[in-house]
Amino acid sequence: MAGSSTKWVELPVADGTTMRAYVARPQARPVRAGLLVFQEAFGVNVHIRDVTDRFAREGFLALAPELFHRTAPGFEGAYNNFESVMPHIRALKDADLEADVRASYSWVLENQDKAGTSVACVGFCMGGRVSFLTNSILPVKAAVSFYGGGIAPNPLGPGLLGRAGNLHAPQLLFWGGLDKHLGPEQTEAVAEALRKAGKPFVNVDFSDADHGFFCDARPNYNPAAARQAWALTNAFLNCHLGI
């Protein structure tokens, strides 16, 4: 499989801020499609950069924006210190996130290899929520959410289920059956909202996986679930992007 070339870029955002983003582009092959990769709460860290590189090797122009750029540019939190990320999560506003994803989407469109390249999005944990939000405001062709906390209402906010009717593209949702952070009342609420809105979606529950099961840097890493989720993600993207 061909490798990838990587770099950091700075993107102007509509609110006047500047956002850094990590970019990976396939080498020795044309870009098949654009992909926005949305971080966990721990930043655009080694894991997220590795995932972005993996997507580039699959042929995507993949961009991972730093969503904490207003409060902590360059932030990379420790997986065993969730308290350190909470101030940055609480500071995030949906209006700011919308500006960030629009800037990211525009950059991918402007830097693709050929006009008309389709764009999709994928996100992990906090980024899973951002992927759902992106699907509600931009004409992406597919959206993937790994254990997206905050799509359904929770103690931190009202959620995004009111946007279900606005989704532009099919949505793939991954959950861990052992995830105590996102119990069945939340995951079922997401599926029911999409069902009522008549939106196409795929709902995958790995019964023996916990929150963060895809991340090989976390104690909850589940190799079997991660391998299957990777294959399903690529099949889903290829199908709906027509590549």
Contacts of 92 (CB under 8 A, 6+ apart): 67, 68
Q: Which of 53, 88, 121, 125 is catalytic?
A: 125
Closest CA to 104 of 137, 129, 126: 137
Q: Which residue has the tokens 């996130």?
A: 97
Cα dihedral value 64, 68, 74, 78, nearest 10: -100
- What is the reported pLDDT for 2? 66
Region label for 150, one of left (φ > 0), alpha (ψ between -120 and 50) or beta (otherwise) = left
pLDDT tens for the chain, residues 1 to 243: 568 899 999 999 999 999 999 999 999 888 999 999 999 999 999 999 999 999 999 999 999 999 999 999 999 999 999 999 999 999 999 999 999 999 999 999 999 877 667 999 999 999 999 999 999 999 999 999 999 999 999 988 999 999 999 999 999 999 999 999 999 999 999 999 999 999 999 999 999 999 999 999 999 999 999 999 999 999 999 999 998
The token pair that represents 225 in the structure block: 């679930």
Q: Which of 47, 88, 100, 179 is catalytic?
A: 179
- In the annotation, is 205 catalytic? no
CA 39, distance to chain mean position in Å, is 6
Total number of domains in the chain: 1
- In the annotation, is 50 catalytic? no
Q: Which of 53, 211, 215, 240 is catalytic?
A: 211
Domain harbouring 63, CATH code: 3.40.50.1820
Taking the model in full, what pTM does it have?
0.97
- Taking CA atoms, 154 is separated from 1, 29, 142, 183, 206, in Å, by 42, 43, 25, 11, 22
Residues belonging to the chain: 243
- In the annotation, is 179 catalytic? yes
Range of the domain at 55: 4-241
Q: Which neighbouring-strand residues pair with 37?
A: 122
